[in-house]
Chain A
Amino acid sequence: MNLPSIGQIPSDVVAAWIFTIIVGIVLLVWLTKLKKWPVVFEYMRTTHHRKIGTMYILFAIIFFFRAGMDAMLIRTQLAVPKNDFWVFQGDKYNEVFTTHGTIMIFFVAMPLLIGLMNVAVPLQIGANDLAFPYLNAISFWFFLAGGLIFNMSFFMNSAPNAGWTAYAPLSTDTYTPGPNINYYILGLQVSGLGTIFTAINMIVTVIRLRAPGLKLSKMPLFPWSTLVTSSLILVAFPVLTIALVLLMFDRFYGTSFFTGEIGSPVYWQHLFWIFGHPEVYILILPAFGVFSDVISNFSRKKVYGYTSMVIALALIGLLGFMVWAHHMFTVGMGPLANSVFAITTMLIAIPTGVKVFNWLFTMRGGVIRMKTPMLFALGFIPTFVMGGVTGVMLAVAAADYQYHDSYFVVAHFHYTMVGGTILGAFAGIYYWYPKMTGKVLDDKLGRWHFWLFLIGFHLTFLPQHFAGLNGMPRRVYTYTWADNVFIFNAISTVGAYLMGISMLFVIWNLYKTHRYGKKADGDPWDGRTLDWSVASPAPEHPFNPMPKVKRMDEFWYRKVNNKGLEYADDPRPSPISVETYQPIILAGVMIALSIAFIYLWVWLQVILGAGVLSFLVIRSLTDERRQAYREEERS
């Protein structure tokens, strides 16, 4: 499309601008009409874990629709051989699969899980808030800033185009000049910082803020998975940070770490996967935690093999660091390295298998209620097992030479990431929705969502195994009739549309629930853990008085025996919450600073960098602990 005074712009970018402006105006009018602005401002300055968790999930779902659009475009382009759909060929196609992958991992899966952690973990362990409420707000606004930076690229017609793994040397300035990859680097850097802060927050909360008597050995499995996941984040994300810094130096400042005569492209792969493989366990372990709690709740039984569940979580976390090179079997590391990484990879199937059997045994003999969260858990088990089996197949290094970079791999990781993480996130959202908003999502529409999504999912990704085995490589924008993969791709496209339709039921459900839904009480699922002992939606500082815990699922056993919770006399002081606009303003400055880096405006980098640092000074001078400590001094 040739626009006056702007130049050649692809028509999809123009369409996105128009769509966004219209939606933006509608949203502004709607908010004004319903007089919702005070609520918006309240959320902008909040540091409360439930509100921040809700915002995480809200924006994750918005990004889910954004990256889901990419998926629809990909599947439409691939529906028939030699297709020429809209503009999505060649480099434009590279952009679409890059933004699809990156957004889905960093701006959908991560915030969905972190959002659930925010909502549920403090409530499940009897903490009145996360240990550092202010830092938590920073984490959220950094995530959103990163997401906005990354998505801005598309509107500037320079979406990243080197795949979500940004392999060098393709991602260096020699082969991808222009700002595209800069957006990728800065977007991930800012949101990654937020993730690291969240991990610190979660660990301190779980270690130090549990209710009196709630030992680690009696803690529900979702906080356990949060603890393990956060520890993985602490080791994995700093490596990504440095890898991105080095890539930035290659692109901006003339070094050649990953390219040229003296650089090493394989070193990028090592760094990326030392981050990237733990990352996929970071994404799956919280989902495991959700399923453990959901299955136990809706089977009215305590989790089978609790100790082995915890050990399995820890083992998966530990082994997760020893498998990164299985993404690199074909780069020529040699037979010894390949064998070692093949074996460690296969070992992970053992603790995962333990968990699968424990979930099944948890249900055995239980009183099973088929509510929507439980349906997602039941759909997860066979789906994830299939993803696990193809994972073991891929771990066979010799066979991987055949599978590598084919649609078989695409099918495999969608079975684990969608079949595990996304189904887990849906289960968690339906399960904790009352705690977030005070209403239970409609069960009937939830069922529609579940069945359409699950059937659509298998229709999409099961055929991709066969397309891959027939030799279809990933990241290609077309294929021919002679390639013999048409039928698989056609079914896949139908399935993708079915998944898209299922997500419309989510929107319908949200509308119906909030329009007609009744207010939920504190314990709508007849729950077992402490989160169900407080009101819905969870109030600020709900554990007052502080419950005392003697065994696992204390709330449940007290309830069954018709007794109330016992309360502790002298609980530790709670974290101090504040209301402040500082985090959101800081995130705004971070966005501006990132743009200064993306377009290499040095003077702006200096000014805005000083701006970011000045927030640390402001923070130190306006410390909310001052008041509390002053009172303590007087007493």
Chain B
Amino acid sequence: MNQSVSRELFGDKRLGFYIYLGVEAVMFATLFATYIIFTPPSKGVTPTEAFDLRSVIMASVFLLPSSATLLIAEKGLKDGSRVKVWIGLITTFVLGAVFLGLEVHEFYKYAVHEGYTISMNNFMASFYTLVGLHASHVAFGLCWMVLLMLQLKRNLPSALFNEKQKIFNYYWHFVDFIWVMIIIFVYSPYVF
């Protein structure tokens, strides 16, 4: 069986998507720079007052393992086991969804309960834009996973489904990587 069509076209797509992730990385880097420049702020709430260690750890406990559970789905592709693909996707989805819920809760707590609004100072403003962009990436990833599960039920050519899932995997690992960067640059200087 000649696999050259799917192999080469997937190679194109993978390179293209890697480059796209590079573009995203530049966007996030610009937001990180903005955060670092404006933090700590000269007036209004400081990060030490706003952040609490517990919610960061809680969120990380859910998001970081989701990269690992996604590996189960990747393994499933390799072994040709649809069950593993399903297990991997569903656990990843659940972990991602809980993370998103915690993020929304954190934002809600800051903005409504504590009154740290986006216009309070540039620390809060850059925090909301940076972490908000990441959270919207997670939300986008969740929708993507639903679509992927739909495609899994649709009985596509296996090469095509593999391709779609692999591209998603790169995306999800990237989103996780950005979260690690957020822990390092946004939270860790102020919560420990």
What is the interface of chain A, defined by CB distance below 8 A to chain B?
Answer: 131-132, 135, 196, 199-201, 203-204, 207-209, 234-235, 237-239, 241-243, 245-246, 249, 253-257, 261-264, 267, 271, 572-573, 575-576, 613, 617, 620-621, 623, 625-626, 628-630, 632-633, 635
Contacts and interface: CB of A to CB of B under 8 A. Distances in A.
Contacts of A573: 4-5, 8-9
B157 interface: yes
A132 to B, nearest CB: 6
B53 interface: no
A628 B5 CA distance: 8
A132 B16 contact: yes
Q: Which 10 A-B pairs have the closest CB atoms?
A: A254-B119, A629-B157, A238-B26, A255-B125, A242-B30, A238-B27, A573-B5, A629-B160, A131-B12, A204-B16
Given A203-B19, A209-B12, A242-B27, 4 more contacts: A234-B23, A241-B27, A271-B30, A620-B151
A625 B10 CA distance: 10
16 contacts: A131-B16, A204-B12, A207-B15, A235-B26, A238-B23, A257-B34, A262-B38, A262-B121, A573-B8, A625-B163, A629-B156, A629-B159, A632-B3, A633-B157, A633-B158, A635-B1
Nearest to A613: B143
B153 to A, nearest CB: 12
Contacts of A245: 129
Main SS at interface, chain A: helix
Contacts of A261: 43
Nearest to B1: A635
B147 interface: yes
Interface string B41-65: 1111000000000000000000000
Interface of B: 1-6, 8-9, 11-13, 15-16, 19-20, 22-24, 26-27, 30-31, 34, 37-38, 41-44, 117-119, 121-122, 125-126, 129, 143, 147, 151, 156-160, 163-164
Contact of A238 (B9, B24, B126): B24
A633 B151 contact: no
Contacts, number: 128
Given A131-B12, A262-B122, A204 B160 contact: no
A271 B33 CA distance: 10
A342 to B, nearest CB: 24
A243 B8 CA distance: 37
Contact of A630 (B16, B30, B157): B157
A257 B122 contact: yes
Contact of A256 (B3, B34, B119): B119
A245 to B, nearest CB: 7
Given A613-B143, A626-B156, A632-B159, A263 B122 contact: yes
Nearest to B123: A262
B12 A575 contact: yes
Nearest to B17: A200
B34 A246 contact: yes
- Could you say which of B19, B37, B151, B163 has the most chain A C-beta atoms within 10 Å of its C-beta? B19
Contacts of B151: 620-621
Nearest to B27: A238
- Could you say which of B8, B12, B27, B118 has the most chain A C-beta atoms within 10 Å of its C-beta? B12
Contact of B6 (A235, A255, A575, A629): A629
B157 A200 contact: no
Nearest to B159: A629
- Could you say which of A209, A253, A262, A267 has the most chain B C-beta atoms within 10 Å of its C-beta? A262
Contacts of A575: 9, 12
Contacts of A264: 37
Contact of A623 (B24, B30, B119, B160): B160
Nearest to B162: A629
B162 to A, nearest CB: 10
Contacts of B9: 573, 575-576, 625, 628
Contacts of A208: 8, 11-12, 15
Nearest to A572: B8
Contacts of B37: 264, 267
Contacts of B157: 626, 629-630, 632-633
A212 B73 CA distance: 36
Contacts of A621: 151
A131 B30 CA distance: 29
- Could you say which of A235, A237, A239, A632 has the most chain B C-beta atoms within 10 Å of its C-beta? A632
B172 to A, nearest CB: 16
Contact of B2 (A200, A256, A632): A632
A204 B13 CA distance: 8
Given A246-B129, A262-B121, A626 B160 contact: yes
B20 A239 contact: no
B125 A625 contact: no
A207 B156 CA distance: 29
A242 B129 CA distance: 10
A267 B30 CA distance: 11
A267 B117 CA distance: 22
Nearest to A245: B129
Contacts of B12: 131-132, 204, 208-209, 575
A226 to B, nearest CB: 14
Contacts of A632: 1-3, 5-6, 157, 159
